[in-house]
Chain A
Amino acid sequence: MGENKFDIAYGVGLLPNWSEHGAAIDQLIKILHIFMIVLFVSWGIFLLYCLIKFRSRPGHKASYQSATSKLPKYAEIGVVLFETFLLVGLSFPIWSRYRLQKPDAEKALHVRVVAQAFQWNIHYPGEDGKFGPTRPELVNNAFNPLGIDKTHPDSYDDFWSVGTMNVPKGVPVVADITSKDVIHSFAIPVLRVKQDANPGLVTPVWFTATKTGKISIVCSQLCGNGHSRMFGRVQIQEPEEFKKWMAEKKRPFKPKEKKSENANLDIDKVTEGASS
């Protein structure tokens, strides 16, 4: 087995968390497991005690009368109260942050994530912040996997990347998730992000990364025989570094500079896809 070329030493247990919202999720998971272990162990001790104390043996008789203790009732009420706390105190707020509190459009980096069997296409809007429109019949896996309409001015500074998603550290990222073919699921375990990529529907997710480094995207919905190959990368960079990366990225649909009057918008010749 090769060595770990990633920036994390992995082992059994929760993966490290590199996102702002993830800490609350981890806390919830930990509280839940402590609760579960306490319940299971105390309950298990009671079970074992019964199994030994009330084993059948010569001279021992079962009693017709059942236990009358109120303890089980209190235990059940305790469980209900604790579950209410889990819901209202922890899960609801986390979910509403995850689903409702969308970061400001000005402050966030906006990308589209378009899944297809078996790769992740990341669509960046470029400097204008606007995505060029896409149409299914324009899809060309080599040169235009997203089917971007290159004649539209919004597309001129768009670019895309296959497999790797570069994002800046400390800046909110809003990703619109969709799919071209079957259902996939966009998961970045280390960022505590998961969202099904449904064809025909667009669902946004958002996160803010807290560390720089390289981590994986895993497809988390069975999507065919290449499902397990459908991985991607998130490259988290310092904001300046990210800006540089973006500036250097080739814009496949950028019209050629006007050198003579008639070489106007000859974008048909520009067929090269963005490298990733």
Chain B
Amino acid sequence: MSHEHDSHHGHELSFIQKYVFSVDHKVIGIQYGITALTFLFFGFVLMMLMRWQLAYPDQPMPIVGSLFPNGMPNGLMTGDFYNELGAMHGTIMIFLGVVPLGVGAFGNYLVPLQVGAPDMAFPKMNAASYWTYLTGGLIMFSSFFLAEGGAAQSGWTSYPPLSVMAGQGQTFWLFGMVMLITSSLLGSVNIIVTIVQLRVPGLSFFKLPFHVWAQFVTSFLLLLAFPPLEAAGVLQLMDRLAGTSFFLPSGLVMGESVMDVAGGGNVVLYQHLFWFLAHPEVYVLILPAIGLITEIIATNTRKPLYGYKTIIYAAIFLGFMSFLVWAHHMFMTGMGTVMSDFFQVTTMIISVPSVVILTVLIITLWGGSIRYNVPMCFALAFLPMFAIGGLTGLPLGLSASDIYLHDTYYVIGHFHYVVAPGTLFALFAAVYHWYPKAVGRKMSSFWGKVHFWGSLISINFVFFPMLLQGITHLNRRMYNYPLTGEGTTLWDIYPHSASIQYLNEVISIAAWVLGAFQLVFIFNFFLSIKFGKKVNDNPWEATTLEWATPTPPPHGNFLTEPTVYRGPYEYSVPGEKEDFSPQHIEPKPA
């Protein structure tokens, strides 16, 4: 492509300005993307270590074990180290991996392009958002190297009093979280303003690609749900550092000594503040993913989306309702009937828009001409995987069945179906789909398919057995089911866990195989920069505005500001020559 020098900026930028401290939304998007993928892989590695301990409890880990003299003396994992890995896996995957990838990377890269804007509304704020995110991530990461106590180990939920009494890692976790929240707030304001203010002429709200709508709703969730968590985080920090006791009741006894705190706090209050964020957070993970695959599915079925407005209203309703379901995570705190009935009803209500969205996507296939390229494979796999995740949410959303299932691997299986073969697959689909726009070359489809089938099969061997284990009441967050020590065996301790220990082995092996298949992706990603097949500006023959830019889009994006004449999914329009009619091309008068 020869457009590289058509930058709207008259002056030449230095390498550092262009690629490091850039204010171009595309560079920032790519920075977000690479950083988030790196954190995702790191979070995955933490989990692969945990899986050794679960599959082969109290057996020394060969080779790798010797890398962690503190966490794994003689290759044997300690309970503390397991809890560090668990807490950091959860935190990293959510706050440093999936959200930055969905919102930071794709939101940043695609939203300005899809609304036809030259950049985000506030480019410098955008850069600030990335650098705050990176700082928060590095603070969290560095806590692994703390001499005393290591990283945070109170779960990604960080319930006090446990978290208040935990080692220094928790302080790092809280500071890290405050940075990440700040970064999200900066990013979400930017996305909202960009969508409201910077749409090109002709691009009314109901001509926006659904992905833009999804990012719009997501940004409102971030903007409104994160502040309570920021407050909760700061209060917890005060409890740790300033001797307050917002979350500490009177009369706590540690060992045999009465804790020297003023007391009077409430441990359940924190949980309300936490879940007031953390439930909407689920939709922050899932909505951008749904937005991305909607684009991919429409493009690859070559027909308009079934129920474009329906899916938009469903997303808005979903976003609104997501503020009213948080306490379904807290049924076991001792909730009375009024509260529990309310939150059960709202939880059942919120399942309706999710069903609507899935229905819209699947019925879009009807009458299409489906192209099975790599992004489409991942996008289609999202549908049944997300369906399993959603359906298994029902028994957890009814307080009666939750009595049995709460805190078991059923929960882990449920939300991983939503976030891993669900959201992550959608994000993989998006990487394969928009890679050619950012790079000018396609990723290898052969290796893409290898990655796809390998991941799809092994990931189901990871998470489906977890549902079975949960039904058998295997508790989560257990670092071992003590096999040794004073005449005890697994049967003596948790007889029901012993009967399904073999599933732990199946899961762990599948997880390592899954890890191996991600190496295929990593190689494909980097090698295709050089060796991928060269493509034109619109390789998938898509209709939305990002494909109307040169490849890769220069700083400033469009050569001339486009005007929009039609909706986002005009495929196979009767009477037109091509089977796709881009938004910026004026229909010929009939």
Contacts and interface: CB of A to CB of B under 8 A. Distances in A.
Given A10-B498, A50-B362, A98 B492 contact: no
B244 to A, nearest CB: 15
Contact of A139 (B165, B253, B496): B253
B356 A201 contact: no
Interface in A1-38: 1-6, 8, 10-15, 24-26, 28-29, 32-33, 35-36
B572 A200 contact: no
Interface string B481-523: 1110000011111111011110100000000000000000000
B6 interface: no
A43 B304 CA distance: 21
Which of A4, A182, A183 has most B Cβ within 10 Å? A182
Contacts of A32: 394-395, 398, 401
Interface string A172-186: 000001001111010
A50 B365 contact: yes
Contacts of A95: 337, 340-341, 399-400
A56 B571 CA distance: 14
Contacts of A224: 79, 83, 162
Interface in B413-472: 468, 471-472
Interface stretch (B91-99, B220-228, B383-391): B383-391
Interface string A39-63: 1100110110011001111001111
B541 interface: no
B306 interface: yes
Contacts of B395: 28-29, 32-33
Contact of B498 (A1, A64, A72, A99): A1
A105 interface: no
A8 B495 contact: yes
B490 A1 contact: yes
A4 B495 contact: yes
Contact of B481 (A192, A201, A228): A228
A218 interface: yes
Contacts of A75: 359
Which of B394, B406, B475 has most A Cβ within 10 Å? B475
A24 B371 CA distance: 48
A90 B80 CA distance: 41
Contacts of A6: 491, 495
B392 A201 contact: no
Contact of B399 (A24, A91, A137): A91
Which of B258, B301, B495 has most A Cβ within 10 Å? B495
Given A47-B362, A63-B303, A222-B477, A3 B491 contact: yes
B492 A5 contact: yes
B368 interface: yes
Contacts of B153: 225
A227 B334 contact: no
A228 B494 CA distance: 10
Nearest to B398: A91
A8 B472 CA distance: 13
Which of B252, B266, B404 has most A Cβ within 10 Å? B404
A237 interface: no
Contacts of B483: 1
Contacts of B384: 40, 44, 47
Contacts of B258: 136-137, 139
A51 B300 CA distance: 12
A54 B367 contact: yes
B496 A10 contact: yes
A242 interface: no
Given A25-B400, A95-B400, A83 B348 contact: yes
B484 to A, nearest CB: 11
B473 interface: yes
A56 B302 contact: yes
B370 A54 contact: yes
Interface string B334-378: 111100110011001001100110010011111111111000000
A165 B335 CA distance: 24
B579 interface: yes
A66 B304 contact: yes
Contacts of A84: 348
Given A56-B369, A87-B345, A201-B268, A189 B477 contact: no
Contacts of A15: 472-473, 496
Given A183-B159, A225-B83, A66 B306 contact: yes
B403 A192 contact: yes
A61 B355 contact: no
Contacts of A229: 482
B154 interface: yes
B78 to A, nearest CB: 7
Nearest to A22: B404
Interface in B231-282: 249-256, 258, 263, 265-268
A147 interface: yes
B366 A66 contact: yes
A275 interface: no
A195 interface: yes
B574 interface: yes
A99 B79 CA distance: 34
8 contacts: A1-B489, A10-B496, A43-B387, A76-B352, A80-B352, A196-B332, A199-B249, A225-B153
Interface of B: 78-80, 83, 153-155, 159, 161-162, 165, 249-256, 258, 263, 265-268, 301-304, 306-307, 332-337, 340-341, 344-345, 348, 351-352, 355-356, 359, 362-372, 380, 383-384, 387-388, 391-392, 394-395, 398-401, 403-407, 468, 471-473, 475, 477-483, 489-496, 498-501, 503, 571-574, 579
**Which 3 A-B residue pairs are closest in the complex by CB-CB distance?**
A200-B249, A225-B79, A2-B489
